[in-house]
Structure 1
Amino acid sequence: MRKRERENPCGICGHYHKYEEGEVCGVCGHRLKPAEEEGAPAKLHESAFPTEVLKDFLFLGSYDNASRSEVLKTLSISHILNTVPACQNLYKNSFTYHSLQRDKPMDFDEANQFLEQCERERARVLVHCMTGRSRSAAFVAAFLMKSRGWRLAQCFQWVKDRRPQVQLTDASQQELLEYEQKLFGPSAQSMVPTESFASLGFGLPQRAGDIQAPMFNQTPSIFERVNPNNVPANFTFGAERTLGVNPQDNNNNGAVNPTSTDNPMMDGS
């Protein structure tokens, strides 16, 4: 290896190869895109790493990202959702694949079932299409709507903030709008996703189905549920016996007998 190659690793993947000459990286498989016009400089390939949409769980990327097994293993990704029927699953022995067989309409429910299972198993999953801009982004937005209870505009902005190159097609937007009405009701006001929405970041609503903390005043006290009139005469608190009226003493006018021993002494005089 030449000295220049050792001193100048690839700026995309960090591995040493003749990337300026268009050589394919032997580790991650990326290379520089060819120039569109003669004499124009070559364009850098998009990042070799997919975009993390939900921390330690959901990643969004392209078919190029899905073809780099070493990169996926570095990110601990074990499951892959292939949203394009024409794309091949390259590493069936290394990853768990789920391929959607239908192109149109988009089968959001089938994809969500797979992603929900991955989340329950705490598995990291990559959702990809060819470019990682429209189709796969639409499936990720649909999953956020279903699992988090967010509206379409919020889901789109969440994904867009993390992967700026996302650009939904008109067909994808229309199918997402229909899925939003399916989840939230036909009378729900639709929010068409546009790039003009402000970044939401914090303050998004809680996911649907979250368990709310119980209120303390919902359960009555055990003392409130006991009727004082139903307490038996021989009911004791702790080790002491409740004082009672001695029915044999007719001269105390109903006063409480101060003696509380179990065997009262009798006057023999």
Structure 2
Amino acid sequence: MRKRERENPCGVCGHYHKYEEGEVCGICGHRMPVAAEKASVHVSAFPTAILPDFLYLGSYDNASRSELLKTQGISRILNTVPACQNLYKNSFTYHCLQYDNALPFDDANQFLEQCERDKARVLVHCMSGKNRSPAIVIAYLMKSRGWRLAESYRWVKERRSSVELNEAVNQQLREYEQKIFGSMDGCDVAPPVFPSINAQPFSFGFSNVNNPVPPPAFNVGAASILSRPALDIPPHEFTFGASQLQKSCHESPLTANSTKSNGSDTPMDSA
């Protein structure tokens, strides 16, 4: 077994103790990652802001960095792991949850509500910041903001992507959601909003569909648009081909004059 040297205290709790890579610290409960895991771990030293200037979510490692917490203005800490030590009681106001199995959502919410009323910034933490502390934050969002479980979880997950709730904690949150809002079939759940049937529809300059323009009536009191007025031409005067006007137009002016000339006119070639 490789032992820890005296000059290398635990990076989480600060105590000197014996440990082997991959084992859990017997004092603070923090598990030191093995060498293969250290290369892939990229965790911010700052906790995650869930509600700016008020509610922060993090791990025990975040809670152990007092100077960083002070730079963020955090003055109160909600510890969700009873076995974890409160390291800086002279610098921060702590509230440690006590429970066996079910997370005490109501107890946590009372403390967080008081922090919000006092306009104090508070950090909620567990060991890794992935399961218990996110569940406490989600429960607070449901209670204080009136958000459903799915919306609250999405809000937290988008800001801290490492959140991974286990099935037991998920079930507790579903039960707490039912406690706050009632069952899904209850009247406490606001129905989805759909446009009213009588609402003014959107249109591109056309007439209202609720008051349509009556269709045109054909053959009712008016002549059809396909009908033409009858030609006032006697049957014996109607001929196919050239009309009388066209016939007169084809006649030469000289011919017309010769038919109207009298007997005294002398032809030009006889002169």
Q: CA deviation at 1:103?
A: 3.5
Q: CA deviation at 1:33?
A: 5.0
Q: CA deviation at 1:62?
A: 0.3
1:114 equivalent in structure 2: 111
Are residue 36 (structure 1) and residue 33 (structure 2) matched? no
Matches of 1:177 and 1:124, distance apart in 2: 27
Matches of 1:161 and 1:98, distance apart in 2: 26
Amino acid aligned to 1:36: A
2:177 equivalent in structure 1: 180
Normalising by structure 2, report the TM-score.
Answer: 0.56
Farther-moved stretch of structure 1 (77-86 vs 42-51): 42-51
- SS of the residue corresponding to residue 36 of structure 1 reads helix
Matches of 2:35 and 2:136, distance apart in 1: 32
The 5 A counterparts of 1:129-208 are 129-188=126-185
CA RMSD of aligned residues (A): 2.5
Q: CA deviation at 1:25?
A: 11
Amino acid aligned to 2:176: Y
Give structure 1 regions of 4+ aligned residues with deviation exceeding 4 angstroms.
Answer: 23-26
Are residue 94 (structure 1) and residue 91 (structure 2) matched? yes
Q: CA deviation at 1:134?
A: 0.7
2:232 equivalent in structure 1: none
Matches of 2:170 and 2:122, distance apart in 1: 23
Matches of 2:127 and 2:42, distance apart in 1: 14
Q: Which runs of 5+ in 1 are unaligned?
A: 1-22, 190-269
Are residue 68 (structure 1) and residue 65 (structure 2) matched? yes
Matches of 2:10 and 2:42, distance apart in 1: 12
- Spell out, residue by residue over 1:53-89, the C-alpha distance to the aligned partner (whole angstroms, 9 max, x if none): 0010000000010011011011110000000111110
Indicate how the Cα distance of structure 1 residues 115 and 42 shifts in structure 2: closer, same or farther if over 3 A, else same. same
Kindly tell me the number of residue pairs found equivalent between the two proteins. 162
Q: CA deviation at 1:43?
A: 3.6
The partner residue of 1:48 within 39, 45, 49 is 45
Indicate how the Cα distance of structure 1 residues 25 and 175 shifts in structure 2: closer, same or farther if over 3 A, else same. closer
Indicate how the Cα distance of structure 1 residues 44 and 167 shifts in structure 2: closer, same or farther if over 3 A, else same. closer
- Spell out, residue by residue over 1:198-249, the C-alpha distance to the aligned partner (whole angstroms, 9 max, x if none): xxxxxxxxxxxxxxxxxxxxxxxxxxxxxxxxxxxxxxxxxxxxxxxxxxxx
The 5 A counterparts of 1:179-258 are 179-188=176-185
Matches of 2:101 and 2:34, distance apart in 1: 32
Matches of 1:170 and 1:150, distance apart in 2: 21
Matches of 1:54 and 1:176, distance apart in 2: 20
Q: CA deviation at 1:104?
A: 1.4
Matches of 1:184 and 1:150, distance apart in 2: 10
Q: CA deviation at 1:35?
A: 1.5
Matches of 1:136 and 1:77, distance apart in 2: 16
Amino acid aligned to 1:76: G
Q: CA deviation at 1:170?
A: 0.3
Matches of 1:97 and 1:146, distance apart in 2: 22
- SS of the residue corresponding to residue 142 of structure 1 reads helix
2:259 equivalent in structure 1: none
Amino acid aligned to 2:76: H
Amino acid aligned to 2:65: R
2:120 equivalent in structure 1: 123
